[in-house]
Amino acid sequence: MGRSTRVRRSMRPLFCCLLPLLLGLAGSAGVRAAEPLLVVRTPMSPPEWALLQRELLRANAAACEAFFERYFDERGWLLCVERWGGNDGPDDAIENLLHWPILHALGAPDSILELYKRGWEGHLRQFTQAKTVEVPFARDGMYYKEFPVMFDWLHHSEGLTVFNLQGLSDPYDRRFRQRARRYAGFYLNEDPGAPNYDSERRIIRSLFNGSRGPLLRKATAVDWAGDPIEVENRLDPRHGEKTYQQFLEHFQDYNDVVGDHPSNLVATSLALGAYMLDHEAKYRAWILEYVGAWRERMIENGYIIPSNIGLDGSIGGECGGKWYGGVYGWGFTVAVPQTGAPAHRNNTHLGFAGFMNAYLLTGDDAWLEPWRRQIDKINAQATEIDGRTMYPQMCGDKGWYHFTPAKYTRNALEIYYLSMDAADRGRVPPDPWLDFLEGNNRDYPEEALRRDLERVRQQVEGFRNDDSTPDTRLADDSMRFNPASVASLVEQTMGGLIGGKNTLVLHARLRYFDPGRRRAGLPEDVAALVEELSGDHVTVTLVNVNQVAERTVTIQAGAYAEHRFKDVTTSDRTVPIERPDVTIRLAAGSGARLRFRMDRYAFQPTLSFPWDRSR
């Protein structure tokens, strides 16, 4: 639980006795992370899933390298029309590299990390130099102090996900550490030019916030849409607009941004990233303070998270007392300018990211309970329409509306993943991965891996056939061809949740490191399949597909070493561990099924690598 520090690797010789059986055991529960506790010698012909995993890592890397060469220049700048805006702004530019840090942390070659870092450095320079004419707060640069000047967290998170996840495999980079603290400081009031947080009322003061502080007036369509631009016969916007006027019409009702909104809770991911560097207490304290305030508001509002908190701290305070008010609120339905059709744009569910961060720090079920109740309360509003049971998704002046045949299930999977409670499993819609973990759908690993392999092929085909030029390409045009396809690998190797484009924190039961090369990720030729998950154990099959050379892998309990391995059981014995990591040597062509018992959320999360920790 204490502060993680770098420790000098012990040079003690390892006195161990390797059993001349199928499995060798070495050391004791106190053995250092880089010393193998287990030596696996059991021959295992590589299963299909293992070969597919290794091929998917290889294909991803080759495709990403080709993608970068196609759309980025030698400086790391995206070759596009540089614009500010909610449709095609700076966040979309860096979103072109979504999932690249995770790909490297899974075991992809170092070239992926090197290209991502070149892209991130180039992105910061490119959009610091890019300026608006009509949008007032970005006239001196769309980025300031290497951070977006002022926008909402739906878009902030899309642009910052790749940065925050860099810590999975590159936590010691000096510039990364400086930025992690600076970015978090914008929300701890450590920068006098960015007074985003009101510590007395425990609110972030506007939906629009950033390195130049909060926007404390109504937003305009230009604030959202960016400067005028030629559209017809030049651009092909992803949202379907045909003219700049339609850009403005898209955002004409995006006005009520003053006051706090649940999506601001994603900002706690920045503080969490800074906390995991050296465990400075102020970051943890701020996360729990701010999320705690939102938990109180949920309870006060009858277990429905309000979508506007006034500058005075009152629920609905900037929207005439309407708890469902504000941009991206429960009642935020607008018209699509091209068709006039209603578009329901409630993103209050993004706020659960903050509660997940609080849970990661504490393991306290109190952070989950309000969200369970919210799901149940909304679904209790179901009604019969034309003989069918329909469930609401929105709420406005006339009560609940936008009824659909599907139940409201926002965040149900995440709640279950954290709690591992059977009652929470009942709220989750059908999920093929969970079916596999529960002993059904046994073909799922191969099917999912082949699906991701096919996606890589399709993405490469897409960008090879793209005939756009940099002056006709918006920042989000190339994004649709990003080949990084990691969903199956995150589920299968880590037993993890594959977050979307708004996810700055990885939640995973296991993570892997290569102690020989001192880097994150599965070592070359190693594959892993998580087959069971419960509240107190995980079962994983490890395979070395190399028939000539042995491989050594360090397995970590949790994405950030937040869990503790108690022991590991093989086919014939149980070995104590009592730490957050264990190192295993796999003989050539060998494999084993390992069942780990664990205490979840036993430690404070850290970005430090296993061999650099004292515990």
* pLDDT, tens digit (0-9, with 9 covering 90-100), for 5-50: 333 333 333 323 333 333 333 333 333 445 788 999 999 999 999 9
Instruction: Residue 36: name the closest of 19, 16, 21 by CA.
Output: 16
Q: Which residues contact 558 (CB under 8 A, 6 or more apart)?
A: 508, 509, 510, 511, 580, 600, 605
Express the helix, strand and coil content of the chain in percent, nearest 5 each.
Answer: 35, 20, 45
pLDDT value at position 13?
Answer: 33
In the block, residue with structure tokens 């970590």: 556
pLDDT for residue 182 is more than 90: yes
Spell out the residues 6+ positions from residue 536 whose beta carbon is closer than 8 angstroms to its own: 597, 598, 599, 600
Distance of CA 173 to the CA centre of its chain: 20
- Tell me: the pLDDT tens digits for 411-448? 999 999 999 999 999 999 999 999 999 999 999 999 99
Task: Report the alpha-carbon distance of residue 267 to residue 353 in Å, rounded.
Answer: 9
Q: Which residue has the higher pLDDT, 33 or 212?
A: 212
What does the DSSP assignment read for 316-353?
TTTTTT-TT-STTSTT-EEE-TTT--EEE---GGGGHH
* Residue 598, pLDDT above cutoff 90: yes
**Is the per-residue pLDDT at 535 higher than 80?**
yes
Type of residue at 326: G
User: For the chain, how big is the Rg over CA atoms in Å?
Assistant: 25
HSE of 482, CA atoms in CB hemisphere, 13 A: 22
Residue 287: partners with Cβ closer than 8 Å, 6 or more residues away: 268, 271, 272, 275, 354, 357, 358, 361
Contact status, residue 108 vs residue 61, Cβ threshold 8 Å: yes
Please state, rounded to an integer, the average pLDDT across all residues of the chain.
Answer: 94
Distance CA(318)–CA(316), nearest Å, equals 6
Helices 281-300 + 268-278 axis angle, to 10: 150
Cβ atoms of 580 and 33 within 8 Å: the answer is no
Phi then psi for residue 540, to 5 deg, are -135, 140
Tokens 């880089």 sit on residue: 34
511, containing H or E segment: strand 510-514
- Would you state the pLDDT for residue 161? 93
* Amino acid, single-letter form, for residue 579: R
How many other C-beta atoms can be found within 10 angstroms of the C-beta atom of residue 368?
A: 22
Say yes or no: domain 50-481 is CATH 1.50.10.
yes
Reply yes or no on whether the pLDDT at 521 is more than 50: yes
How far apart CA 467 and CA 481 sit, in angstroms, is: 13
Cβ neighbours for 500, distance < 8 A, ≥ 6 positions apart: none
CB 55, CB 107: distance < 8 Å: no
The position carrying tokens 């590589």 is 46
pLDDT in tens, 241-293: 999 999 999 999 999 999 999 999 999 999 999 999 999 999 999 999 999 99
What percent of the chain shows pLDDT beyond 70? 94
**What pLDDT does residue 614 have?**
74
pLDDT at 615 over 70: no
Mean predicted confidence (pLDDT) in 598-610: 98
- Written as one string, the DSSP assignment of 142-209 is SEETTEESSB-HHHHHHHHHHHHGGGGT-TT-HHHHHHHHHHHHTTTT-STT---EETTTTEESBSSB
User: What's residue 267's pLDDT?
Assistant: 98
What is the predicted pLDDT for the residue at 14? 33
3-state SS class at 576: strand
* Contact between residue 22 and residue 41 where contact means Cβ atoms under 8 Å apart: yes
Q: Are 305 and 351 in contact (CB under 8 A)?
A: yes
Tokens of 156: 């902030």
**Is residue 54 very low, low, confident or very high in pLDDT (cuts 50, 70, 90)?**
very high
DSSP of 230-295: --TTT---TT---SHHHHHHHTTT----BSB-GGGGGGHHHHHHHHHHH--HHHHHHHHHHHHHHH
Classify the phi-psi angles of 279: left when phi > 0, otherwise alpha if psi is within -120 to 50, otherwise beta: left
Q: Where are the domains of the chain?
A: 23-46+509-612, 50-481
- Give the pLDDT score at 26: 36
* pLDDT score of 121 more than 50: yes
Higher pLDDT, 501 or 567: 567
Q: What pLDDT, on a 0 to 100 scale, did the predictor assign at position 500?
A: 82
Is the domain 23-46+509-612 a CATH 2.60.40.1180 member? Answer: yes
Confidence of residue 499 (pLDDT cuts 50, 70, 90): confident
249: Cβ contacts below 8 Å, ≥ 6 apart: 221, 337
The side-by-side arrangement of strands in the sheet containing 388-396 is 383-385, 388-396, 399-404
What are the backbone angles phi and psi of residue 613, rounded to the nearest 5°?
-110, 150
Calpha distance 245→255 (Å, rounded):
17
Q: What percent of the chain has pLDDT over 90?
A: 91
Rounded to the nearest 10 degrees, what angle do helices 153-164 and 268-278 cross at? 20
Tokens of 423: 């009652």
